[in-house]
């Protein structure tokens, strides 16, 4: 995987705000860490994440209920909703989820989405955070990000440099093209709204006011710990709901940590993708570095983007050349 870097010809220090550099006009100043989903099991990992973000040049702050625990959640629903709204009023530009897990679906109806959009804050999270990304976009059209969270990404023993690098460049709006190996992709060259995230979370919003109606979009998906038959059942729901046919491309990230059984009898994730392709003529692009894996791109949910494939490579155009 490689990426174009508009800073290649300028001496850019991520921690500085170089007013001479045309790409630094909106350098994010700080990261506010909050917990809208599951409880943080290991506060030390959050400390490490914070330290890592500081080493990358960010000021950081931790929401006062980020380490709360109620049942399996990072605090009661009321506390987690308050944390979302508190994040809108503090000074740091980036608001990052400490972790995923589960907990957003049950508070979606209590979040003031217009206030989130109006705040201009740059929200980022992963997995369960897909519910936040999609609900915000469905309710207001505002863009937010999916990519690394504090935990596991920044708080794990070895930080994945490319993940951090992609995060930094995305936050600075420098990342123009994300290119990745994509040996089994359909030919495509299209533009549209980039949207998606964790497949189970995307599907968990179908039929609700938090599911965005996207025509001609670029839908990206990943999942973890779901058997291929469940992945297929979820894709089939999107298919039967007409969602897949409305897209210009379906971009597949990583589907990991599932176990096949003897009675699968040759049925694999490949069977699922083959079957899907037989029913849906929307181009499928594979190999997106995104999922419950160390290397994950930072992607803007709701932004206009382009996707193209050529010679076993795919190119996700995230930013127009000015």
Residues that bind a second copy (CB under 8 A): 38-39, 41, 69, 71-73, 102, 105-106, 108-109, 204-211, 229, 232-234, 236-237, 240-241, 243, 263-267, 271, 275
Rounded to a whole number of angstroms, the minimum distance from the CB of residue 66 to a second copy is 16
Q: Is 127 a catalytic residue?
A: yes
CB atoms within 10 A of CB 37: 28
Integer angstrom CA distances of residue 230 from 54, 76, 233, 237, 250: 40, 30, 5, 11, 18
> For residues 223 and 232, which CB has a smaller minimum distance to a second copy in the complex?
232
Rounded to a whole number of angstroms, the minimum distance from the CB of residue 213 to a second copy is 11
**Phi, psi torsion values for 284, nearest 5 degrees:** -105, 130
Q: Is 222 a catalytic residue?
A: yes
For residues 235 and 276, the answer to whether their CB atoms sit within 8 Å is: yes
Marked catalytic residue, from 127, 170, 182, 204 = 127
> For residues 66 and 318, which CB has a smaller minimum distance to a second copy in the complex?
66
- Exposed (0-12), middle (13-18) or buried (19+): which is 97, by Cβ within 10 Å? buried
Q: By three-state DSSP, how is residue 197 classified?
A: strand
Marked catalytic residue, from 93, 173, 222, 232 = 222
- Exposed (0-12), middle (13-18) or buried (19+): which is 32, by Cβ within 10 Å? buried
> For residues 17 and 105, which CB has a smaller minimum distance to a second copy in the complex?
105
Q: Is 292 a catalytic residue?
A: yes
Rounded to a whole number of angstroms, the minimum distance from the CB of residue 44 to a second copy is 16
Rounded to a whole number of angstroms, the minimum distance from the CB of residue 77 to a second copy is 8
Query: Encoding tokens for residue 38?
Result: 């599951």
Please list the active-site residues: 127, 222, 292
């Amino acid at each position: 995987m490689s990426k174009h870097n508009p800073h290649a010809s300028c001496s850019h220090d991520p921690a500085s705000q170089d007013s001479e550099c045309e790409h630094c006009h909106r350098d994010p100043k700080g990261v506010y860490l909050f917990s809208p989903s599951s409880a943080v099991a290991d506060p030390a990992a959050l400390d490490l994440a914070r330290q890592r973000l500081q080493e990358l040049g960010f000021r950081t702050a931790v929401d006062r209920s980020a380490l709360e625990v109620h049942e399996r959640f990072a605090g009661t629903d009321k506390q987690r909703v308050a944390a979302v709204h508190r994040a809108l009023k503090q000074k740091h530009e980036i608001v990052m989820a400490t972790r995923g897990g589960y907990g957003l679906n049950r508070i979606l109806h209590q979040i003031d989405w217009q206030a989130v959009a109006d705040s201009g804050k740059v929200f980022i999270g992963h997995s369960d955070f897909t519910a936040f990304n999609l609900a915000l976009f469905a309710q207001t059209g505002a863009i937010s990000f999916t990519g690394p969270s504090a935990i596991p990404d920044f708080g794990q023993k070895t930080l994945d440099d490319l993940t951090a690098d992609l995060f930094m460049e995305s936050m600075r709006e420098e990342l123009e093209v994300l290119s990745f190996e994509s040996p089994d992709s359909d030919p495509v060259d299209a533009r549209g709204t980039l949207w998606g995230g964790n497949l189970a979370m995307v599907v968990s919003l179908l039929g609700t006011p938090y599911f965005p109606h996207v025509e001609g979009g670029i839908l990206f998906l990943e999942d973890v710990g779901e058997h291929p038959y469940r992945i297929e059942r979820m894709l089939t729901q999107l298919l039967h709901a007409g969602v897949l046919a409305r897209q210009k491309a379906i971009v597949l990230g990583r589907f990991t940590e599932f176990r096949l059984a003897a009675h699968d009898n040759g049925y694999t994730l490949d069977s699922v993708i083959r079957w899907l392709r037989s029913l849906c003529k929307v181009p499928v692009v594979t190999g997106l570095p995104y999922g419950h894996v160390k290397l994950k791109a930072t992607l803007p949910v709701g932004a206009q983007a382009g996707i193209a494939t050529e010679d076993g490579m795919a190119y996700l155009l995230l930013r127009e050349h000015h």
